[in-house]
A and B are shown apart, each in its own frame.
Chain A
Amino acid sequence: NAGVTQTPKFQVLKTGQSMTLQCAQDMNHEYMSWYRQDPGMGLRLIHYSVGAGITDQGEVPNGYNVSRSTTEDFPLRLLSAAPSQTSVYFCASSSRLGPYSNQPQHFGDGTRLSIL
């Protein structure tokens, strides 16, 4: 079972370059999200989506854009990469969330991004 697939696994960028981190899930999950993890830290939420066409900001959204045109895909775009965006990025998905829902989130294996 594929679950949550993130590509690429590693990427090195120069300051000012743009790129898109890809995330795809094959579980028909409505909820998808992006987190970043810096060394020695827990994960911090960047953006999330509760369904196709709906996105919202998390704790650290600046410098990142997202869109959700399909249920399966939730790409994260860096418009102009900065060294402060060097991090490991994780995508997650879960089935429909709502009041009293406790569906566990499923995470990908991450994209390790370095900005020089």
Chain B
Amino acid sequence: DAKTTQPNSMESNEEEPVHLPCNHSTISGTDYIHWYRQLPSQGPEYVIHGLTSNVNNRMASLAIAEDRKSSTLILHRATLRDAAVYYCILRDVRGSQGNLIFGKGTKLSVKP
């Protein structure tokens, strides 16, 4: 499975945008880019996913580089509730199981 690289931690101020980077230089053509987040003392929560085009939903936006070797999760206005560990995961849709392979993720701190 292709690997992802994320910074260990990032800080943001409340109500400011946050850009969380992810590098995946060995991504294959059938890998989708998924993002999950894990709030303290909770299970992971699906955030967003995409293949080639930028994606938006109610939680966040996903910007994917043209060569697909990197992507950025964008939180448009960080709130204190967005403090969590964010995981960038590649998922090969040819696989019948679709198991998730988690790295260590990026721990986002949000300051009031």
Contact = CB atoms under 8 A, between A and B. Distances in A.
Interface in B60-110: 87, 91, 93-94, 96-105
12 contacts: A42-B103, A42-B105, A50-B96, A94-B98, A97-B98, A99-B94, A101-B93, A102-B93, A102-B98, A106-B46, A107-B42, A109-B42
A26 interface: no
Interface residues of B, number: 24
B93 A58 contact: no
Interface of A: 4, 31, 33, 35, 40-45, 48, 50, 56, 58, 90, 92, 94, 97-110
A92 B43 contact: yes
Nearest to A103: B98
B43 to A, nearest CB: 3
Contacts of B49: 102, 104
Contact of B100 (A43, A101, A108): A43
A101 B32 CA distance: 10
B91 A107 contact: no
A35 B17 CA distance: 32
A74 B56 CA distance: 33
B96 A102 contact: no
Given A41-B104, A42-B104, A98 B43 contact: no
A41 B32 CA distance: 23
Nearest to A4: B43
Interface string B6-28: 00000000000000000000000
B32 to A, nearest CB: 6
A94 B94 CA distance: 16
- Residue among A31, A42, A98, A108 with the most chain B CB within 10 A? A42
A101 B98 contact: yes
Contacts of B102: 35, 42-44
B52 to A, nearest CB: 13
